[in-house]
Structure 1
Amino acid sequence: MVQSVARATDILDSIAHAGGAAHLNDIAAATGLKTTTAHNILKALQTAGYVRRRAGDTRYHLGDRILNLARVAGDDDALRHSLRPALEAMATETSETVFLAVPSGDEVYFLDAIESTRALKAASQRGHREPMAGSAIGLLFLAFIPALRRRMFDTHADRIGPGIAAEIEAIAERGYALDRENWMPGLNCIAIPWRDEGEIRAGFGLAGPSSRLTASRLKEMAELMQKIASETDGRYEG
């Protein structure tokens, strides 16, 4: 067991030293492992979410669990600072409560929020945590982070009912998540992804009273937030 752990950490180190992605042969050479041994360990790491493969790319990349650990270890403040202007723009343009959230293990962590100044509004959830399958932004992460989705389906199948699985598929097709009074009566929410070099790193959300955020208004808000987020995509410097 100790030898297996040591080999796995050596493989992760080799990928990190290669810039976050490396081919199997290069990993085997860097760690001194046989190609078949390295491949078997990489398969286990991939299943656990510590490495991942990208479509059309034969290299192994560091996975979302490693990236989340790095974020938790000290990246939160940098990400919050970097994306604050986008959050402020969304708050100004929509006049609703907006928030920034990130995946944290099997939960959603609300990293930042700006509360609406309107009398009837959604409260800020900054600093709160929610189950991944319990909110629009959590379903957003499940829809756009395949390794996270596989892990949740494998380890928390009891939380993923047929309705949630269908909604995850709808979000992936639509490009954003909607919650129409599912989480809380009288409250509607939107969540859109934010990408850093093509990878989903965080999500922006908006919440407000269902009486004001009608179906057509939700669609308008989603398109506006997507536009603002797209202007920030890939500009994070952590």
Structure 2
Amino acid sequence: MSSTIPVKAAKNSMKIVEALRELNGAGVSEVAQHVSMPTSTVYDHLQTLTQEEYLIKENNQYYIGARFLQLGDYARSRRKLFTIAQPEIDKLAQKTGGHANLMIEEHNIGVFIYTAQGPEAVRLDTHAGMRVPLHTTALGKAIMAYLPRDEVEEIIDCRGLTKVTENTITGRERLFEEFQAIRERGFATDDEERVEGMRCIAVPITNEAGRAMAAVSISGLKRRMKGDKFTEEIPEQVLQSANAIEVNLTYS
């Protein structure tokens, strides 16, 4: 059997886990309806995942268990990038007062692997492990701008260019023009492209070949991030943090 053929049972289990996350916990019938599977099949998967301690059951509702936290923490901490970048992200958040983020690309999508809040940060939906389309964020655009064009085309073909807000860039050529501008100025911007009322400045973390490995950013309210603060002050602070991370990665 070809290794490219997915194991259906495993695939169904993961669909059910994702459904529980989206539903914030649910009963058997609700999950079955959500994933369009027979109730008996969903029940068997839920029982097995609970027995293996990946789910918990409370009042006939199933929830994702803390065992996934152990796996997620391992997936993050095994990366040298995370251990080196974490203190720099914390310092950036405190220095700017905003919401600092670290993102990687995995399976053609952006994944937040660390966030830190400064004293003036507003509450956002971003958190470690959150996955978002790359083109909708300054972080994702910073990463794509420093990848080979054929890889970026593959990302777009795989994930599309979904419109999240009125400002999301959804045209392929317009996006490549944006990448050129990012390379020329050294940083990417997000002007209400994923969250209305929010702006973001991001800088790629690149290897010696100039390929993006990740990106670091600061997010804040549009009314606070404007003028020189948006075009010069914060970009310079984010650039300094990205440079520090790159140097530490090179010599650690």
**TM-align CA RMSD:** 2.7
Unaligned runs of 5+ in 1: 3-71
Deviations 1:148-196 (A, max 9, x none): 3132355556655143232222212221110112222210111111123
Q: Does 1:134 align with 2:136?
A: yes
- The TM-score, its normalising length taken from structure 2, stands at 0.59
Q: Does 1:212 align with 2:212?
A: no
**CA–CA distance in structure 1, aligned partners of residues 247 and 75 of structure 2:** 16
Q: Does 1:196 align with 2:207?
A: yes
**CA–CA distance in structure 2, aligned partners of residues 216 and 166 of structure 1:** 23
* Comparing 97-106 and 121-130, the one that deviates more: 121-130
Q: Does 1:227 align with 2:228?
A: no
**CA–CA distance in structure 2, aligned partners of residues 191 and 91 of structure 1:** 13
**CA–CA distance in structure 1, aligned partners of residues 123 and 183 of structure 2:** 26
Matched positions, count: 168
Q: Structure 1 residue 86: deviation in Å?
A: 1.1
Query: What letter matches 2:195 in structure 1?
Result: M
Unaligned runs of 5+ in 2: 3-71, 163-169
Deviations 1:69-110 (A, max 9, x none): xxx9x6631322111121122112111110111011110000
**CA–CA distance in structure 1, aligned partners of residues 195 and 157 of structure 2:** 27
The answer as to whether partners of 1:122 and 1:207 remain within 8 angstroms in 2 is no
- The TM-score, its normalising length taken from structure 1, stands at 0.62
The answer as to whether partners of 1:101 and 1:109 remain within 8 angstroms in 2 is yes
**CA–CA distance in structure 2, aligned partners of residues 100 and 216 of structure 1:** 23
Query: What letter matches 2:217 in structure 1?
Result: G
After TM superposition, the structure 1 = structure 2 runs for residues 146-165 of structure 1, keeping only pairs within 5 Å, are: 146=148, 147-155=150-158, 161=171, 162-165=173-176
The answer as to whether partners of 2:103 and 2:215 remain within 8 angstroms in 1 is yes
Q: What secondary structure, in the 3-state scheme, does the structure 2 residue paired with 1:236 have? A: helix
The answer as to whether partners of 1:196 and 1:235 remain within 8 angstroms in 2 is no
Instruction: Give the ranges of 4+ consecutive aligned residues of structure 1 lying more than 4 Å apart after TM superposition.
Output: 153-160
* Comparing 153-162 and 173-182, the one that deviates more: 153-162
The answer as to whether partners of 2:94 and 2:118 remain within 8 angstroms in 1 is no
* Comparing 221-230 and 158-167, the one that deviates more: 158-167
The answer as to whether partners of 2:104 and 2:213 remain within 8 angstroms in 1 is yes
Q: Does 1:186 align with 2:171?
A: no
Identity %: 22
**CA–CA distance in structure 2, aligned partners of residues 154 and 126 of structure 1:** 26
